[in-house]
Amino acid sequence: MSSFPWLTVTAALPAVGAIVTAALPAATNSRSRDRNKVVPLVFSVATLAIASIVTARFVPGGARFQMTENHSWISQFGISYSLGVDGIAVVLVLLTAVLVPFVMLASWHEADPITDDSGTFERNRRTQGFFALILAVEAMVVLSFEATDVFLFYVFFEAMLIPMYFLIGGFGDRTAGEDAKQRSYAAVKFLLYNLLGGLVMLAAVVGLYTITHTFDLVAITDALQNGTLHFSPVAENALFLGFMFAFAVKAPLWPLHTWLPNAMGEATPGVAVLITAVVDKVGTFAMLRFCLQLFPQASKTFAPTILVLAVISIIYGALLAVGQKDIKRLVAYASISHFGFIILGIFALTSQGQSGATLYMVNHGVSTAAWLLVAGFLMSRRGSRLISDYGGVQKVAPVLAGTFLVGGLAILSLPGLGPFVSEFLVLVGTFERYPALGIVATAGIVLAALYVLVLYQRTMTGPVKPGNEKVADLKARELVVVAPLIAMLLVLGIYPKPIADIVNPSVNTTLSQVGRTDPAPHVNVAITNTAGSTNSGGGQ
């Protein structure tokens, strides 16, 4: 157990920041609004500093969970405040801490009052409320990654829905009338879908406790490993499906995905990044930590079905992205396709697949943030989300167009950029055990190239369309957001070893708990001996 509560501090900083930000006096002018933005930004940067220390202190190949904290909470029911990070959790905590400051900088004016042409207020929003909600989401996501008590995880898994609901419904892109109804509809749909998933999970959590009499993840998994705890097949399958349903909604996995295009379409670009690059990662992370480790036999039983759904997500999401007219909805369907790849890697149950899936979570977070935030800068200048309203932007804003292209190339997994390594590992790991599904999934790469390059061609190339003549290039604040994200994509594409070294021991531990090993390669080699005869050698 760590002597200093590093993990608690990592989550407490954004939580305290949210309270302090919400308590700031209401802004009356642009100067006071900027003051109300600087305070949460400072808290997010401080959180990044602590998360970096946590990552530096983590010892790859060391104890399964490190920097652990354990305090009794509701002792009558065996509920404890238990935290700990493995290699998978620590990189996702760092990813969250890295992205939130960029989301805040990119969203600098997204909570400013909205006025019409006459200067009349259409929406007068509390600036500090917007940034306080972002910090609240960060705190709950970080605690979800750190929790090693199943009930504690459930609390924050559900609690993060409330600030996200207000970020979508209260601070979305739309302003008034029918548009506001669309924003409210998206927020309610997001909340109801995820609450339904959480309700099913709650029943499974209660069922787990009635069998094990504890919520301690480590105690349960250790008992499963040493044979002192056994689930009946029926009970294990039912509990697995209860957990998996909630995580598949959050992820999201087809056919439980329909809330995501609405939510991302109606949210501001920064909040859309928060949804898909941060919050949704809790779903795929939880599949690795809870579904596979608590229910190893059920995971193997349902893996083929889940893999089929993942492949459908890959192809379905990519096909719908190709046909979108709205930029943000295109990114949403692209994310559904990418989450299909992540889930494919998880349930292929190979070391390459799961390492690739974890790397994919990181790379998808960075690449989606880069692509969508640049798209947000473009949409804020033009005042439209429709692809048809753009054209020739590279002639008037070459830096904006160039960074948009790099973000898009990362999305389609161009070699040399981060997502390529992770997507390659996922496909290799899947092909080892399910070659047919691996082959079908590769179609998602072709479709990704189609929707990314067609979007770039329609928005950035050709003659300048009317209305785009005065589109300004990226400003200093916007370059501060985009440049580090692109640099990270390059580093992750060229040298992913530091993250892979942290992740791989945890992946191997997960596979051993599921009782899976990588399929042995079968190699036929023709060997010519000195006498000139040929021997065929085979290996398993």
**pLDDT confidence of residue 524:** 56
Reported as a single tens digit per residue, the pLDDT across 25-51 is 876 677 777 778 888 999 999 999 999
Domain final residue, candidates 158, 192, 222 = 222
Reported as a single tens digit per residue, the pLDDT across 340-387 is 999 999 999 898 999 999 999 999 999 999 999 999 889 888 888 888
Domain final residue, candidates 194, 222, 250 = 222
The pTM score is 0.89
Indicate whether 285 belongs to any domain: no
**pLDDT confidence of residue 285:** 93
Domain that holds residue 328: 295-540
**pLDDT confidence of residue 537:** 44
What SS3 class is residue 71? strand
Indicate whether 283 belongs to any domain: no
Torsion, CA 358, CA 363, CA 364, CA 369, rounded to 10: 140
- The stretch 422-439 carries a mean pLDDT of 90
Indicate whether 274 belongs to any domain: no
- 141 is written with which tokens? 């996501």
* DSSP output for 265-286: HHS-HHHHHIIIIIITHHHHHH
Residues present in the chain in total: 540
* Percent of the chain at pLDDT exceeding 70: 91
- 502 is written with which tokens? 């942290």
Same domain, 319 and 415: yes
Indicate whether 228 belongs to any domain: no
Q: How far is CA 282 from the centre of its chain?
A: 7
Same domain, 199 and 309: no
Three-class HEC string of 415-461: CCCHHHHHHHHHHHHHHHHCHHHHHHHCHHHHHHHHHHHHHHHHHHC
Reported as a single tens digit per residue, the pLDDT across 4-25 is 899 999 999 999 999 998 888 8
Strand partners, 147: 83
Indicate whether 332 belongs to any domain: yes
Mean pLDDT of the chain: 87
More confident residue, 180 or 508: 508
Reported as a single tens digit per residue, the pLDDT across 259-310 is 999 888 888 888 999 999 899 899 999 999 999 999 999 999 999 999 999 9
The DSSP bridge pattern shows strands 121-123 and 114-115 to be: antiparallel
- The stretch 375-402 carries a mean pLDDT of 88
More confident residue, 242 or 510: 242
Reported as a single tens digit per residue, the pLDDT across 89-144 is 999 999 999 999 999 998 888 777 665 544 544 445 677 888 999 999 999 999 99
**pLDDT confidence of residue 203:** 94
Q: Rounded to whole angstroms, how far apart are CA atoms 217 and 142?
A: 17
Q: Which stretch of DSSP H or E encloses residue 113?
A: none
Same domain, 461 and 323: yes
Indicate whether 360 belongs to any domain: yes
Q: At 467, is the pLDDT very low, low, confident or very high (cuts 50, 70, 90)?
A: confident
**pLDDT confidence of residue 89:** 93
Cβ neighbours of residue 428 under 8 Å, at least 6 residues apart? 352, 353, 356, 438
Strand partners, 121: 115
Q: Rounded to whole angstroms, how far apart are CA atoms 88 and 285?
A: 8
Same domain, 322 and 191: no
Same domain, 36 and 159: yes
Q: Could you report how far apart the first and last alpha carbons of the chain are, in Å?
A: 42
**pLDDT confidence of residue 127:** 78
Same domain, 201 and 80: yes
Strand partners, 537: 525
Q: Which residues of 248-284 are buried (b: 16+ CB within 10 A; e: fewer)?
A: bbbbbbbebbebbbbbbbbbbbbbbbbbbbbbbbbbb
Q: Are 135 and 44 in contact (CB under 8 A)?
A: yes
**pLDDT confidence of residue 176:** 44
Provide the 10 A C-beta neighbour count for residue 526.
8
Same domain, 103 and 3: yes
Reported as a single tens digit per residue, the pLDDT across 204-241 is 999 999 998 889 899 999 888 888 888 889 999 999 99
Same domain, 362 and 506: yes
Q: Is it the case that residue 528 has pLDDT exceeding 60?
A: no
Same domain, 317 and 196: no
Indicate whether 473 belongs to any domain: yes
Same domain, 439 and 312: yes
Indicate whether 389 belongs to any domain: yes
More confident residue, 219 or 527: 219
Q: Are 377 and 106 in contact (CB under 8 A)?
A: yes
Same domain, 218 and 314: no
Q: Is it the case that residue 478 has pLDDT exceeding 80?
A: yes
Q: Count up the domains in the chain and report the number.
A: 2
Domain final residue, candidates 189, 222, 255 = 222
Cβ neighbours of residue 357 under 8 Å, at least 6 residues apart? 284, 288, 341, 342, 343, 344, 345, 346, 422, 426
- The stretch 327-339 carries a mean pLDDT of 91
- The stretch 413-417 carries a mean pLDDT of 89
Same domain, 71 and 182: yes
Cβ neighbours of residue 288 under 8 Å, at least 6 residues apart? 88, 346, 354, 357, 358, 510
In 220-360, DSSP assigns E strands to none
